[in-house]
Amino acid sequence: MSNHYEFTSTLKAVWNKSVQLYNDGNQDCETYYNKQEKAFLDSIGHSAREVWDFVDDSIRYGDPDYETFLLLASLRRTYFLNVMKGAKSDVIIDTVDLTPKSEAVAGITWLPRIIEKARAKLRGEMSDDLMYCCGGDREFCKTHNLHPSDFLAFVMDHFDDDEAIIDFVLSRSKTASQS
């Protein structure tokens, strides 16, 4: 069992180790963690690949930062522990299972896809070739004045309510266009 009180400091240590190994040229995230670190990641509903994806994008593109990773990891952890009761899903969502990137709802391209990705992120159902908060997701969030964690939190709170999610994005988009 994970020490929940030390969740943030343990995750930060895992992040820092990942950054060091990545910068040292190790691209095999499956070799990054010892037994205790793997058990910690399992206990919060994460995988080595998820951490690696964020470290990779952070180092290569300067975005997302650690704080964004922490916020998203915290939301996933909360959903995993409180909604899923710590049980992993048997479902794996692959890229071909998602709505195409060019599809739109309410005139907003990418929205159907990012809703699906947010739900899959919360349930821990993303395959290794998917990442919530990838470059496309970040561009969507920037365009619509959303922090990726705000969007993920809203989806968590309105999981099965597409209309509420669409309205949320539309309300933020109006704010973005007025700035």
* 3-state SS string for 131-166: CCCCHHHHHHHHHCCCCHHHHHHHHHHCCCCHHHHH
Q: How far, in Å, are 55, 87, 98, 119, 147 from residue 154 at the CA level?
A: 24, 22, 20, 11, 11
**Three-class secondary structure of residue 25 per DSSP:** coil
pLDDT by position in tens, the chain (length 179):
567 889 999 999 999 999 999 999 999 999 999 999 999 999 999 999 999 999 999 999 999 999 999 999 999 999 999 999 999 999 999 999 999 999 999 999 999 999 999 999 999 999 999 999 999 999 999 999 999 999 999 999 999 999 999 999 999 887 655 54
Q: What is the pLDDT of residue 173?
A: 85
DSSP designation for 26: -
Residue type, 20: Q
Stated pTM of the model: 0.93
Q: What is the pLDDT of residue 5?
A: 86
Q: What is the pLDDT of residue 177?
A: 56
Question: In this structure, are residues 155 and 118 in contact, taking their beta carbons and an 8 Å threshold?
Answer: yes
Q: What is the pLDDT of residue 3?
A: 79
